[in-house]
Structure 1
């Protein structure tokens, strides 16, 4: 095969990975100041997209000392059964747990991402959306900040009351609480 037949052309549509971040104190701390927000950048598919506080070893750096030096990695992959590019997420933090759509990942554990994923580590929340493309050699990353938590869309609201989040797991952002995330006020409370 000639080199010109294997190269991507300008007409090849790149897979777009939209990463939308949220932190409850994002306006105060400026933790997203190191990120190229509001723009798309091209990423080689064979290079993992790393997020953490270390700007030298991570593609995306967060200005927050509570974040691990290397927090997580997004890796592109293809399968023989499909023509699209897909992504897996891996927890690179030895101290922190990563929660993806309600499933917890420990250190070095990996999970294939669906087209839309809700990710949580510490107080950070991410909405990751994949828009399929044709190109195999690279993809686009689009970073943005959300004004409200992406988990609000997944909560159950009761009329005349505040929203009650249904996370589907007993894990609460690194807190080692064994208490229920929600309660029924019609049931007696026993201590």
Structure 2
């Protein structure tokens, strides 16, 4: 084998953000016609990745008048404690809130993006999954359309409620795993105090 075939390159080791989109009317509208499906887009880590309606000021545009001109930004960063490329998400919309795993962000507010996050704005649901890589100067973004809302399959925690995890297992207990297609497990509150 030649040296060029055995060397690892930055292209082989890029962090990838898998962005999976859902909108209840996506089958009837051309919301996603401006997004690059079927290919990964490479983005420089020192530039914010913006999503919104305006194709000129955003990296990726949604063809929907109800979306803000600039809806959100994903900003890459690193820490001295970790070699991984990490991300924050910032709400750029003055018109509406953006939620990240049930935590609301107002205009210009930002939060760290976990490895798997459910983002909601308007009627959109966006599941972002980070696949780690070693490259520091750039990352990739890949888009996919989901046929069902990702909130049905991810952990959406409401205050004072136990979470149902994306595996279908009941969080924090040793109940057997149930396929997530059946929906969340429920309990009868009247049986909780019975010994």
TM range (shorter): 0.7 to 0.9
**What pairs with 1:104-143 in structure 2 (closer than 5 Å)?**
104-143=104-143
What are the ranges of 5 or more consecutive residues in structure 1 without an aligned counterpart?
1-7, 156-165, 170-185, 187-191
Q: With the length of structure 1 as denominator, give the TM-score of the two structures.
A: 0.76
Residue equivalent to 2:144:
144
**What pairs with 1:6-155 in structure 2 (closer than 5 Å)?**
9-10=9-10, 13-154=13-154
Residue equivalent to 1:168:
158
The Cα shift of 1:141 comes to 0.5
The Cα shift of 1:25 comes to 0.3
Q: Please say if residues 118 and 154 of structure 2, whose CA atoms lie closer than 8 Å, have aligned partners that are also in contact.
A: no
1:146-170 Cα shifts (integer Å, max 9, x gaps): 1110001148xxxxxxxxxx6516x
The Cα shift of 1:125 comes to 0.2
Residue equivalent to 1:189:
none
User: Per the alignment, do residues 36 and 12 of structure 1 end up closer, same or farther by CA in structure 2, a change over 3 Å counting?
Assistant: closer
Aligned-partner Cα distance in 2 for 1:20–1:9: 27
Q: Please say if residues 10 and 134 of structure 2, whose CA atoms lie closer than 8 Å, have aligned partners that are also in contact.
A: no
What are the ranges of 5 or more consecutive residues in structure 2 without an aligned counterpart?
1-7, 160-188, 190-195
RMSD: 2.2
Aligned-partner Cα distance in 1 for 2:107–2:99: 12
Aligned-partner Cα distance in 1 for 2:18–2:71: 18
1:85 counterpart SS class: strand
The Cα shift of 1:38 comes to 2.0
1:27 counterpart SS class: coil
User: Per the alignment, do residues 33 and 47 of structure 1 end up closer, same or farther by CA in structure 2, a change over 3 Å counting?
Assistant: same
User: Per the alignment, do residues 154 and 13 of structure 1 end up closer, same or farther by CA in structure 2, a change over 3 Å counting?
Assistant: closer
Aligned-partner Cα distance in 2 for 1:134–1:108: 29
* Equivalenced residues, count: 156
Aligned-partner Cα distance in 1 for 2:37–2:73: 18
